[in-house]
Amino acid sequence: MSDLESLFDSHTHNFETKNRGIVQLTELSGSQLPEFFSFGIHPKEQPFNLEELDLICSELSSNPGFLAIGEIGLDNRYDAIQKQEELYVFQLKIAQKLQKPVILHCVNTWDRCRFLHEKNAPNTSIIYHGFNKASITKNVLEYQQAIISIGESILTNQKLQSGIQQIPLERLLLETDMGEIDLIETYQMVAEIKKVSLYALTEQLNKNANRIFKYE
């Protein structure tokens, strides 16, 4: 296995990724699915047929590569917050039923996202993906079910570079999301900031991923 293939990518939209990681499905056309994937309806995609959503998740649940529900959540940049909440809660209940972690899309709504998760999917982990708001790091870490996933913004966001010092390695994942920078650059930056070797960081994050997503 190459160095790149040993890195775990907790959230990517790149179906051609060379890393091991979770590909976000945006549609279910064709029969070829990635080795590991998540499925969920983004808040900007509401309204969505909830019966269809439940059926899709039930069908996918027999696939061992279906590792997470997401990305789902709340985003105050979009309208219809009440409808967003209905969709989010519905998917949280699916996550609870299937016992799958949640990949969270959260923009200026952490307190509400946490409250609804704690109420509807308390036995699942919630991965705050694309995390870049260092000012709320402590608040997120206070919720024991929360994992923080960071992408390429760590390369340029100085506040985040300082904030990551607060995050225990056991509560951390790294991702590419829709970025174009190789994941290894993000790993290298985090290893440098955390003053650990790239090998040690990779080993720990792989352990985290295996613990959270329970993949074989």
Binding residues for a divalent metal cation: 71, 105, 129, 177
The binding site consists of 71, 105, 129, 177
Q: Give the residue from 172, 144, 85 showing the smallest Cα distance to 120.
A: 85
Packing angle of the helix pair 183-194, 198-213 (nearest 10 deg):
110
Q: Give the CA angle between residues 91, 93, 99 to the nearest 5°.
A: 100
Do 187 and 172 touch, CB atoms closer than 8 A?
no
SS (H, E, C) 70-104: EEEEEECCCCCHHHHHHHHHHHHHHHHHHCCCEEE
Query: Who contacts 158 (Cβ-Cβ below 8 Å, separation ≥6)?
Result: none
Q: Give the residue from 110, 67, 112, 72 showing the smallest Cα distance to 92.
A: 72
